[in-house]
Chains A and B, each alone.
Chain A
Amino acid sequence: MIIDYPTLKIIWWLLVGVLLVGFAIMDGHDMGVGTLLPFVGKNDTERRVIINTVGPHWDGNQVWFITGGGAIFAAWPIVYATAFSGFYWAMLAVLWALFFRPVGFDYRSKIDNPTWRKTWDWGLFIGGAVPPLIFGVAFGNLLQGVPFHFDSTLVPYYTGSFWGLLNPFALLAGVVSTAMITFHGAIYLAHRTEGAIQARSIRAAQIFGVLMVVGFTFAGLWIANGSFGYAITSAIDPSALPNPMAKLVAREPGAWFANYRQAPLTMLVPALAYAGALAALWLVTKRRTLAAFVASAFAIVGVIGTAGVSMFPFVMPSSTDPQFSLTVWDAVSSHLTLTIMFWATIIFMPIIVMYTSWAYKVMAGKVTTAYIRENEHSAY
């Protein structure tokens, strides 16, 4: 089946969204658990319980991140090139924070020494807290526009600094993202544990859930009253060969609300963020943890979806040279590559979901202190 180029460009915007949301839901709950580890686990056994709730799964979940990166490379190569090189130090901070996870999980409990174990606990904290914080900050900067331009051969130049990324709005976006991921992780932890750990997880979920809702609202109000937003002012030919320098773009405050005005149905996306978060808060308080986990997953779809829908068709607006902004129409791969990647995703994604579900089913049930005692040598 041949899908035409404009449709594929839209499909790929959706698929990148699916992969990012998949990453946030799957790897996100592991990261949330990592962030909570030093605070919810009061002693070594409790911490081992916490780590072992994600022990068999974190590795598979992390592949959402790697595949997401690969898919952006394949489908939006110039976005991958511009964003990764422009956000150089931010990306390295994510990378170096991620270093602590594989070794933290696998090495921590292999040596029975309190200092060793506590060090890795904080390593897992860094690996859990830093990536969502930086991804939030990155989204905050995308919404405002990023200082970059191209020369005539499409070499990207980033003209901002690392510290420039840490502006107030971006930090707010970072807080929303970290709160969202920690909320989700806390609910997962409540689902897989019992007793005191579960009670503390529920309290953490309540705190971070409220923080997320408040932060998300604040960010929305900021955009409504702030000065950002971009709009394409020239005619768009969705089937044109991608050339990010061929259009005209204006900086237009309030433009990030244009899509909601034009297609009011899209307001369901931010509504989903609220509905999911509030439902998850209520359900986790009632100890209906599995339903709460599903609800907070929907909240994640809503939050990330809101950022995406607000900016559509922009992916990475340029603040210094808006006409060089990268959009779903002009930052994509060739028709052939998008087609191949589409089929690869459509074939393999359901298979991945199937065996991942099976893995969770095999390992289902509460992780308890008794389990840790019985599996002294094999558990994390």
Chain B
Amino acid sequence: MLSEQLVDLSRLQFAATAMYHFLFVPLTIGMVWMLVIMESAYVMTGKLVYKDMTRFWGKLFGINFALGVTTGITLEFQFGTNWAYYSHYVGDIFGAPLAIEGLMAFFLESTFIGLFFFGWDRLSKQQHLLVTILMAVGTNLSALWILIANGWMQNPVGSEFSYETMRMEMTNFWTVVFNPVAQGKFVHTVSAGYVTGAMFVLSISAWYLLRGRDTEFAKRSFRIAAAFGFASVCSVIVLGDESGYALGEAQQTKLAAMEAMWETEPAPASFNLIAIPNEEEMKNDFAIHIPWAMGIIGTRSFDKELPGLNDILAKNRERIVTGVEAVKLLERLRADPTDLALRDAFDQVKADLGFGLLLKKYVASMDEVTPELIDRAARDTIPRVTPLFWTFRIMVALGFAMLALFGLALWYSVKGDFAERRWLLWWALLFLPMPWISCEMGWFVAEYGRQPWTIYGVLPTHLSVSTLTVNSLYGSLAGFVGFYTLLLIVEMYLMIKFARQGPGSLGTGRYMNETAHA
């Protein structure tokens, strides 16, 4: 059996490197469309200020993009280095969207980003705009394929287990692609990226306005960011809300956990605005309810029930009992693959195979399984409620606060007097970190809420890891922490330096803080 420490360290390393990667991704996803908007304005109006905007914000975009590329490779490597059994067990399905992402999206994005930066003097205006658009399309397609892969981990459709090859195999590619969980996730995630890009431009422009410098440049940037940000934040809230969570069991478990819904209520269920979950007794010590709200948000209906955690637990316990049979039958079938009766018996129960594998955390052989262990394994299928409940609420609260900010920013942009409203500018400036906090909280809910599985119902996390030594994990984790800290310092230093210098860093002679030898 694998040591729990190895599993925990592998999880920690993946979580840390993935969350670090996602500091850079949303800004790239959002900024790239802002660049398209700014450059389109340049091509349509011919005003140089729009070209300068594209180039200056593009410069900051580039500083961010470099780290996105750097930290993205880590994730692709890590499936193989640290999650070897996972890679073998589901590579037949999971590998395909990753490879297609490279072929269809990442090549496009990375080739055209080179021309975006170096092609200004060699391409016509229209050609350059086309380059920028293709870069944006590539970036967003990239997100699509990665989220198809991730969506399959939450809701593993279009595939089944093969006892001959001892792994999951794809049965329908298009079902994997059009997995509703993946599609919902894509819209929600890229919209969150758009909000991040808009907030970045809005905040820094607000800072220039507060300092009263490069006013014309900052005003135009602020207006574009306000409009783009308002549309995006509406999209995050409306399209990314919990409607997707009624689909698939993993999502239902997650929904019940992040809402601290221990019991199944008659439809439509009430919504716990604030609660103090008690994990031991599986109930809430205190809660403020809003009647009906949860059922309506979660199912978009008045009559569909949402399962509570206690019911989910009871159902999972039954599946574990069947799963133990499935594991036993599989072992016999592997020893004698020609026994057709055995195969038919296995086919009857193989849907619960993954639930049986949960017990491998505690015992090497299914003969040692006791009812107490089954209880423990069943309890493992319910993720910890308290962290999910609160991180989800922070994300949502920030989302609505940003809706208010972008709404007001757009309102005063239309009225034309936003630059005189210092409270609004200060609000925009202080809210700079908020999209990042929301994004990280969102990913925490999505991935922590999937535990104890890497693939929901199919493969438990503790079986997914590579058979490495604990010392190797300490070593690599220390290496990542060291490199990533250093890289973050360098990145922040450059980002702050150029944001402070402002459009003068382009050396055009049209702005403040021109570099000495311009």
Interface residues of A (CB under 8 A from B): 55-60, 62-63, 65-67, 69-71, 73-75, 77-78, 80-85, 88-89, 91-92, 95-96, 98-99, 101-103, 105-107, 110-111, 152-158, 241-243, 333-334, 336-337, 340-341, 344-345, 348-349, 352, 355-356, 359, 362-363, 376-379
Once the chains bind, are A70 and B76 in contact (CB under 8 Å)? yes
Shortest B357–chain A CB gap in Å is 10
Contact of B110 among A62, A152, A336, A363 (CB under 8 A): A62
B361 to chain A minimum Cβ distance, whole angstroms, is 15
Q: How many inter-chain residue pairs (CB < 8 Å) link A and B?
A: 255
Q: Closest approach, in angstroms, between the C-beta of B20 and any C-beta of chain A?
A: 12
Which of B74, B91, B472, B487 makes the CB contact (< 8 A) with A81? Answer: B91
Evaluate contact between A103 and B95: CB separation under 8 angstroms.
no
CB distance from A364 to the nearest CB of B (A): 9
Q: Describe B's contact surface by its main secondary structure.
A: helix
Q: A73-B98, A102-B69, A376-B507 are in contact. Are A154 and B88 (CB under 8 A)?
A: yes
A residues in contact with B122, CB < 8 Å = 362-363
Alpha-carbon distance between A311 and B363 when the two chains are bound, in angstroms: 40
Q: With CB as the reference atom, state the residue of chain B lying closest to A334.
A: B169
Per the bound structure, the CA–CA distance linking A102 and B64 in Å amounts to: 10
User: Does B290 lie at the interface of the complex (its beta carbon under 8 Å from any beta carbon of A)?
Assistant: no
- Chain A nearest CB: distance from B21 CB in Å? 12
Which residues, 66 to 120 on B, are CB-close (under 8 Å) to A? 66-67, 69-70, 72-74, 76-77, 79-82, 84-88, 90-96, 98-104, 106-108, 110-115, 117-120
B164 & A344 in contact (Cβ 8 Å cutoff):
no
Residues of chain A lying within 8 A (CB to CB) of residue B85: 81, 154-156
Confirm or deny: B485 has a beta carbon within 8 angstroms of a beta carbon on chain A.
no
| Chain B, residue nearest A240 (CB) | B164
B475 / chain A contacts, CB cutoff of 8 Å: 89
Using A59-B114, A73-B87 as known contacts, say yes or no to A95 and B95 having CB atoms under 8 A apart: no
Partner of A334 from the list B69, B92, B107 (CB cut-off 8 Å) is: B92
Knowing A56-B115, A81-B80, A345-B103, say if A336 contacts B472 (CB, 8 Å).
no
Contact A91 B119 (CB under 8 A): no
**11 additional A-B residue pairs with CB within 8 Å, beyond A69-B77, A153-B166, A156-B466:** A70-B101, A73-B79, A74-B98, A80-B80, A83-B80, A84-B81, A103-B70, A155-B467, A333-B169, A337-B169, A344-B99
* In contact, A337 and B93 (Cβ under 8 angstroms): yes
Residues in B whose Cβ lies below 8 Å from that of A98 = 70, 73
Query: Could you pull out 5 A-B pairs where Cβ atoms are within 8 angstroms?
Result: A67-B102, A75-B99, A78-B91, A80-B91, A333-B169
Q: Which residue of B lies closest to A363 (CB)?
A: B118
Categorize the interface residue count of chain B: 35 or more
| Closest-CB distance, B279 to chain A (whole angstroms) | 32
Instruction: Specify the main secondary structure of chain A where it touches its partner.
Output: helix
Q: Known contacts A153-B166, A378-B120; decide if A74 and B91 are in contact (CB<8 Å).
A: yes
A12 CB, nearest partner CB in chain B, Å: 11
Q: Whole-angstrom distance between the alpha carbons of A265 and B112 in the complex?
A: 41
A80 to B79, CA, bound (A): 9
Return the chain B residue nearest A365 by Cβ: B122
A344–B490 alpha-carbon span in the complex (Å) = 38
Q: Are B76 and A106 in contact (CB under 8 A)?
A: no
- A259–B414 Cα distance when bound, in Å, is 74
* CB-CB nearest in chain B for A335: B169
A96 to B73, CA, bound (A): 10
Is there contact, CB below 8 Å, between B111 and A70? no
B334: CB under 8 A from chain A? yes
* Interface flag for B170 (CB, 8 Å): yes
Which residue of chain B is the closest to A69 with respect to CB atoms? B76
What's the Cα separation between A89 and B476 when bound, in Å? 8
Contact of B170 among A62, A336, A352, A378 (CB under 8 A): A336
Chain B residues with Cβ below 8 Å from A101 are 70
Question: For residue A103, which residues in chain B have a CB less than 8 angstroms away from its CB?
Answer: 66-67, 70, 487, 490-491
Residues of A within 8 A of B284 (CB): none
Q: List 8 A-B pairs, minimum CB-CB distance, nearest first.
A: A77-B91, A84-B80, A74-B95, A67-B102, A60-B111, A70-B99, A56-B114, A73-B95
Min Cβ gap B44→A in Å is: 23
Shortest Cβ gap from A89 to chain B (Å): 7
* B103 with A67: CB separation less than 8 A: yes
- Chain B nearest CB, measured from A355 CB (Å): 6
Q: Mark B247-280, 1 if CB is under 8 A from A, else 0.
A: 0000000000000000000000000000000000
Contact status B91-A243, CB under 8 Å: no
Among residues of A, the one whose C-beta sits closest to the C-beta of B330 is A153
User: CB < 8 Å: which of A88, A152, A345 contacts B466?
Assistant: A88
Contact of A60 (CB < 8 Å), options: B91, B114, B167: B114
CB distance from B171 to the nearest CB of A (A): 7
Contact partners of B102 in chain A: CB under 8 A: 63, 66-67, 70-71
A118 to B510, CA, bound (A): 32
Across the interface, do B92 and A333 meet the contact criterion of CB distance under 8 Å? yes
| Residue from the list B55, B81, B94, B114 in contact with A85, Cβ < 8 A | B81
B203 → A minimal CB distance (Å): 21
Known contacts A55-B118, A85-B80, A345-B103; is A241 also within 8 Å of B70 by CB?
Answer: no
